[in-house]
């Protein structure tokens, strides 16, 4: 069951939002494309079988224009709940806030409202830890493509909210305890873009991503033949994480392309869920049954 994450109007809400739509994506193998999201919601999925006590908040991708709610949402929750993890699927705001083409180049999207929704949801899940039967110190995030950027954004913007607090949930930390970014996008400034928006010391990591030692342990995954969000995205973030002393694990594969989710089981990259589970066990976030 979907439930709103804001008790009233969301901050920076659109005055005239368009009707939310759900429909097929032409030329794609996934169809659950949600567009014009102006009322963010979250859906909680409980573990099937054993319960590790961990919780993962899922950020689907879609270029900050739409959300791939099955490929990078419900299918991911099905895997995580089968692994004993509570899963929270966030339908964050994408009110035509995606990147635009200017002179043939893709420019950075406006992600303020998505970040607000992510911060709010982490605080809500932590406040409701007893209700959801999760450990408030084992709440992480996973995101895909643009959702991978949102993972990095919420991993580096947690010392204060990007909105005026509305209730007790906003007085609780919104720092994830761990972070997983799968084929992340929007992290790297292409060398032919405006160099004033590029941090040369971090291989072109976008300046809004301020990695510190307090950034949570991070898992990165990408395919080298990803022609939508190139491998430079993960590499730039990895370098910044390493320089800050953040525990990081990165896996790069020759094949996989972009937006594969769990749907490339015959390729080596298709084993990435097992790698994530091993990593979570290794950092103490996915324990045995309580």
Query: Is the per-residue pLDDT at 51 higher than 80?
Result: yes
How far is Cα 251 from Cα 141, in angstroms, rounded to an integer? 18
Q: For residue 204, what pLDDT is reported?
A: 82
**Tens digits of per-residue pLDDT, 99-130?**
544 444 444 456 789 999 999 999 999 999 99
User: For residue 161, is pLDDT > 70?
Assistant: yes
* Closest C-alpha to 186, from 217, 242, 157, 145: 145
Residue 246 and residue 44: Cα distance in Å, rounded?
29
Q: Return the closest-CA partner of residue 203 out of 193, 191, 192.
A: 191
Whether the Cβ atoms of residue 66 and residue 35 lie closer than 8 Å to each other = yes
Average pLDDT over residues 45-63: 95
Report the DSSP beta bridge partners of residue 251. 221
Q: Which residues contact 188 (CB under 8 A, 6 or more apart)?
A: 203, 204, 205, 206, 230, 232, 233, 235, 236
Least confident of 87-91, 99-103, 281-285: 99-103
Find tokens 């400034």 and name the residue.
189
Average pLDDT estimate for 7-33 = 80
Whether the per-residue pLDDT at 274 is higher than 70: the answer is yes
Please check whether residue 122 is in contact with residue 92, taking contact to mean a CB–CB distance below 8 angstroms. Answer: no
Q: How far is C-alpha 224 from the geometric centre of its chain's CA atoms?
A: 20
DSSP-derived letter for residue 10 is P
pLDDT at 103: 43
* CATH of range 56-282; options 3.40.50.720, 3.40.50.1820, 3.30.70.2190, 3.40.50.300: 3.40.50.1820
Q: What is the pTM of this model?
A: 0.91
Query: Could you state, in order of their start, the residue ranges of all structural domains in the chain?
Result: 56-282
Residue-wise pLDDT for 204-252, tens only, equals 888 889 999 999 999 999 999 999 999 999 999 999 999 999 999 999 9
- What's the pLDDT at 227? 93
Please tell me the distance from the alpha carbon of residue 231 to that of residue 182, in angstroms, as a whole number.
11
Could you report how far apart the first and last alpha carbons of the chain are, in Å? Answer: 26
Cα–Cα distance for residue pair 71/61, rounded to 1 Å = 9
């Amino acid at each position: 069951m979907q439930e709103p994450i804001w008790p009233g109007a969301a901050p920076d809400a659109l005055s005239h939002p368009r009707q939310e739509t759900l429909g097929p994506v032409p030329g794609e193998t996934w169809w659950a494309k949600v567009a014009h999201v102006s009322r963010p919601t979250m859906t909680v999925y409980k573990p099937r079988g054993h319960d590790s006590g961990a919780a993962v908040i899922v950020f689907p991708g879609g270029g900050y224009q739409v959300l791939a709610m099955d490929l990078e949402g419900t299918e991911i929750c099905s895997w995580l709940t089968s692994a004993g993890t509570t899963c929270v699927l966030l339908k964050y705001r994408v009110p035509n806030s995606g990147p635009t083409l200017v002179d043939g180049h893709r420019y950075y999207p406006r992600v303020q409202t998505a970040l607000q929704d992510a911060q709010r949801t982490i605080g809500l899940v932590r406040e409701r830890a007893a209700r959801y039967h999760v450990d408030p110190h084992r709440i992480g995030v996973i995101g895909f493509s643009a959702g991978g950027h949102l993972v990095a954004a919420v991993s580096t913007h947690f010392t204060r909210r990007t909105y005026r607090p509305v209730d007790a949930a906003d007085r609780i930390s919104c720092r994830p305890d761990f972070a997983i970014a799968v084929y992340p996008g929007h992290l790297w400034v292409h060398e032919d873009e405006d160099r004033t928006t590029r941090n040369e010391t971090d291989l072109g990591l976008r300046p809004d991503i301020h990695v510190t030692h307090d950034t949570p342990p991070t898992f990165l995954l990408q395919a080298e033949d990803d022609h939508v969000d190139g491998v430079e995205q993960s590499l730039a973030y990895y370098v910044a994480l390493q320089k800050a002393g953040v525990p990081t694990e990165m896996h790069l594969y020759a094949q996989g392309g972009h937006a594969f989710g769990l749907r490339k089981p015959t390729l080596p990259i298709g084993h990435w869920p097992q790698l994530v589970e091993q990593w979570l066990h290794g950092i103490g976030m996915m324990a045995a049954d309580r």
